[in-house]
Amino acid sequence: MRTEHRRGHRICVLGLMIAWGSPQLSQAQPLSVEEIVSLKRVTEAQMSPAGDKIAYLLSVPRTLYEDDDGEAYRELHVVDLDGNSRPYVSGKIEIKSAAWSADGEAIYFVAKREPEEAFTSLFRISAFGGEAVRILSHEESIKAIYPSPDGTRIAFLADEAPIEKKEMLEAKGFKAKVYEESVPIRLVWMLDLSTEEVSVHQLEGSASDLSWASDGKRYAVALAPTPLIDDSYTSRDIFVIDATSAKMQNRMQSVGKLGHFDWSPDGKRIAYVGSVDINDPSAGRLYVASSAGGERRELVPEYQGHVADLIWMGDDDIRYLGIRGLWADYAVASVINSQAAGKAPVSGPIIRKIHAKAGQTVVAAVADTPAHPPEVFVLRDGAKPKRLTHSNPIINDRILGRQEAISYQARDGLPIDAVLIHPTSNVRQRNSGPLILFIHGGPEGNHSNGWMSTYSQPAHALAGQGYTVAYPNYRGSTGRGVEFSKLGQHDYAEEEFNDIVDLKKHLINEGLAGADHVGISGGSYGGYATMWAASALSDEFAAAVAFVGISNQLSKFGTGDIPYEMYHVHSRAWPWEDWMWMLRRSPVYHAGKTRTPLLIMGGDKDPRVHPSQSLEMYRHVKLRTDTPVRLVIYPGEEHGNKHTAAQYDYALRFERWMNHYLRGPGGEPPAYELDHLTRLESAGSE
């Protein structure tokens, strides 16, 4: 009966779709999902020691139906401050980490040069170009590199060596793993560049980040008690280590989540991005403390945003990057006198990362805007950010939906920010048009007014088909200060998800969408919101696509890898303290109410949200309703799809599900197959 009711709505929609979905004459076309999946993105940018060039890593998705399966390639490029860019190491390679040498004469990078290699190695390439030279093949993959400021050593992070003849034992069938206990510790290693000798520093804990003091005699390292992700979220601290003896000299006594950290040029202080307390959902406050020990001090008190990155200007001042509302905040803080942040930003590119050496007047940045994915920018005091790279010329030939930052009121009067993308100008708009809400994960995440289209949220492809697309920063999001980010704690799925419904109603009241044509989608905690919307809030939504989502808060505690993080910053209670409260805040509890056609997708190797969460929701909806539901599992994928083909497959399935139920006939779901074979044969014949 419920499915027939939905089908009737869809038939009416089809007639309306013809009226508002007819394209006007236009030369430009919108981006397709294939083009969105294939876009290149800058992922890292480092200013050279001389301040005249920027080395950057460019993510290049694999060519669909031509390249073998795998993650996007990552190439090394260098651009000067006038925007002249050239590739240094490009092609079918996945560079994991890169850094300038202390003198700026070379760039070190970590990669596998041949597919059959078991581990990544360390390479060196001249800053003037030429062939890269392998300088170290280690016994395990090198994860990150940190050249010393005196140019004599390279510190690097790598897991402890496997047991002797591990591969031989596995070939004989002895490959049992002891859950959590057999995860290898990540160690700090030292490569002496003059002798090429490697030594290990035996520290207490598992390492995840490192920063050198300017004299090269000490380094600071982030250590967690174990290599488990839960400890890396909740129990990391910064330790000061003697670089020669590997003896610990001091620790910062940080609490809760920890972000980036760095030394002052004179070595007297360490600044870091940290948390107010153990219950702070996200590291986002700027602190400084003596490198010799002592109380920490917050530099931007009561900051109504979240600090994301920092670099020292000199001994007394720090440049910091924050997310504040829907914008990026780039400002200066004094370590002498703490002071409140200045006026909140209301425009500009969304800066994601910054890098420079102390004393440099130019800063390298990775930033995006509504018009393009992340690119290399250069920042100068008193000047607008200057874009240096243009990695996706195809965007210049495509029409994009108009994007804007908006604010609306939740039902209790709380102001909520959101990003809105309108249908493209070659599609006529009517009040009955379809709307899709994309819900971020976390919930300690946020949307900024930058580039919004990804494989799982292909906004501009949707805008080109007449969709309005919106991204709410519901309560519990970051970017609005600690107090706002705690509003959803011990209140799963109530006001936080009501904020999402209130955005829907706001946009309908504004004449931007039809009430019966609203879809919802999100991943992780956003997948939880989507499953909740399809069940407990089913009357509000006509289609839903949940990705790596939470369906059962009880079993999530027993099957995921972050129970302590969940307890401290999400539930603020253990399941056994109130079993029924947690069960009632679970979509499976409400699965019998599901009338919203639900597509569920996720990877079979997800350690964060176990694949059984998707299976539970699928099975409950299947058994308790006649509502269309489908479960798609991606082999080898974890908490989000990394392989280009899996990303494209996801995007196609998402697009087809939404079109079928928001613009098409509805009723029974579309065929489960995708015609990849025809595309493969077509690619092979070209």
Tell me phi and psi for residue 284, to 5 degrees.
Answer: -165, 10
Flag whether pLDDT at 9 surpasses 80. Answer: no
Look at residue 335 and tell me if it is in a domain: no
Strand-by-strand arrangement of the 97-100 sheet: 97-100, 106-111, 121-126, 133-137
- CA angle, 305 as apex, 310 and 279 as ends, to 5°? 95
**Cβ(542)–Cβ(599) below 8 Å:** no
Look at residue 154 and tell me if it is in a domain: no
Domain interval for residue 464: 2-34+396-685
In sequence order, the 6+-apart residues with CB closer than 8 A to the CB of 26 are 399, 425, 426
Residue 22 — very low, low, confident or very high, per pLDDT cuts 50/70/90? very low
Residue 345: half-sphere exposure toward Cβ, Cα within 13 Å: 20
Share of the chain above pLDDT 90, in %: 90
Residue 428 — very low, low, confident or very high, per pLDDT cuts 50/70/90? low
Tokens of 217: 């005699």
Flag whether pLDDT at 365 surpasses 70. Answer: yes
pLDDT at 117: 86
pLDDT at 426: 65
**Cβ(109)–Cβ(98) below 8 Å:** yes
In angstroms, how far is the first alpha carbon of the chain from the final one? 49
Mean pLDDT of 277-293: 97
Flag whether pLDDT at 250 surpasses 50. Answer: yes
Among 24-28, 277-281, 304-308, which stretch is predicted with the lowest mean pLDDT?
24-28
- CA angle, 437 as apex, 436 and 438 as ends, to 5°? 115
Q: How many helices (H) and strands (E) does the chain have?
A: 14, 37
Residue with tokens 């819900």: 439
pLDDT at 198: 97
The model's pTM is: 0.93
Tell me phi and psi for residue 537, to 5 degrees.
Answer: -115, 35
Mean pLDDT of 159-178: 86
Look at residue 512 and tell me if it is in a domain: yes
Tokens of 373: 């994915």
Look at residue 552 and tell me if it is in a domain: yes
Higher pLDDT, 684 or 547: 547
In sequence order, the 6+-apart residues with CB closer than 8 A to the CB of 325 are 305, 344, 345, 405, 417, 479, 480
Contacts made by residues 251-254, CB under 8 angstroms, sequence distance 24+:
252/289, 252/296, 253/296, 254/287, 254/296
**Cβ(428)–Cβ(17) below 8 Å:** no
> Into how many domains does the chain fold?
1
Residue 28 — very low, low, confident or very high, per pLDDT cuts 50/70/90? confident
Question: For position 573, which CATH number holds?
Answer: 3.40.50.1820
| CB atoms closer than 10 angstroms to residue 476 | 28
In sequence order, the 6+-apart residues with CB closer than 8 A to the CB of 293 are 250
Tell me phi and psi for residue 554, to 5 degrees.
Answer: -70, -55
Tell me phi and psi for residue 613, to 5 degrees.
Answer: -65, -40
Flag whether pLDDT at 299 surpasses 70. Answer: yes
From CA 659, how far away is CA 520, in angstroms rounded? 13
Tokens of 42: 């800058």
Tell me phi and psi for residue 580, to 5 degrees.
Answer: -70, -35
Flag whether pLDDT at 10 surpasses 50. Answer: no
**Cβ(611)–Cβ(604) below 8 Å:** yes
pLDDT at 14: 30
Look at residue 208 and tell me if it is in a domain: no
Provide the mean pLDDT of the chain: 93
Tens digits of per-residue pLDDT, 70-98?
Answer: 999 999 999 999 999 999 999 999 999 99
Flag whether pLDDT at 516 surpasses 50. Answer: yes
- CA angle, 514 as apex, 652 and 437 as ends, to 5°? 45
Tens digits of per-residue pLDDT, 563-581?
Answer: 999 999 999 999 999 999 9
**Cβ(362)–Cβ(51) below 8 Å:** yes
Residue with tokens 């083009």: 35
Flag whether pLDDT at 427 surpasses 80. Answer: no
Mean pLDDT of 176-192: 95
DSSP of 615-668, one letter per residue?
HHHHHHHHHH--S-EEEEEETT-BSB--BHHHHHHHHHHHHHHHIIIIIS--SS
Residue 679 — very low, low, confident or very high, per pLDDT cuts 50/70/90? confident
Residue 686 — very low, low, confident or very high, per pLDDT cuts 50/70/90? low
Tell me phi and psi for residue 157, to 5 degrees.
Answer: -105, 135
From CA 426, how far away is CA 464, in angstroms rounded? 8
Residue 251 — very low, low, confident or very high, per pLDDT cuts 50/70/90? very high
Tokens of 298: 């917050």
Residues 147-156: b if buried by 16+ CB within 10 A, e if exposed: bbbeeebbbb
Handedness of CA 643, 645, 647, 650 (dihedral sign): negative
pLDDT at 165: 78
Flag whether pLDDT at 26 surpasses 60. Answer: no
pLDDT at 678: 87
Residue 25 — very low, low, confident or very high, per pLDDT cuts 50/70/90? very low
Look at residue 302 and tell me if it is in a domain: no
Residue 361 — very low, low, confident or very high, per pLDDT cuts 50/70/90? very high
**Cβ(333)–Cβ(314) below 8 Å:** no
Mean pLDDT of 628-645: 98
From CA 74, how far away is CA 462, in angstroms rounded? 28
Tell me phi and psi for residue 647, to 5 degrees.
Answer: -65, -45
DSSP of 424-435, one letter per residue?
PTTB---TT--E
pLDDT at 681: 80
Residues 620-652: b if buried by 16+ CB within 10 A, e if exposed: bbbeebebbbbbbebeebbbbbebbbbbbbbbb
Look at residue 636 and tell me if it is in a domain: yes
pLDDT at 430: 59
Query: Which residues share a beta bridge with 544?
Result: 520, 598
Residue 421 — very low, low, confident or very high, per pLDDT cuts 50/70/90? very high
**Residue 457, Ramachandran bin (φ over 0: left; ψ between -120 and 50: alpha; else beta):** beta
Residue 20 — very low, low, confident or very high, per pLDDT cuts 50/70/90? very low
Tokens of 616: 């539970």
Helices (DSSP H) in 433-494: which residue ranges?
A: 459-463, 482-485
Tens digits of per-residue pLDDT, 223-245?
Answer: 999 999 999 999 999 999 999 99
pLDDT at 16: 29
Residue with tokens 């539970």: 616
pLDDT at 4: 36
Flag whether pLDDT at 69 surpasses 50. Answer: yes
Look at residue 295 and tell me if it is in a domain: no
pLDDT at 618: 98
SS3 509: helix
Mean pLDDT of 135-152: 96
pLDDT at 193: 97
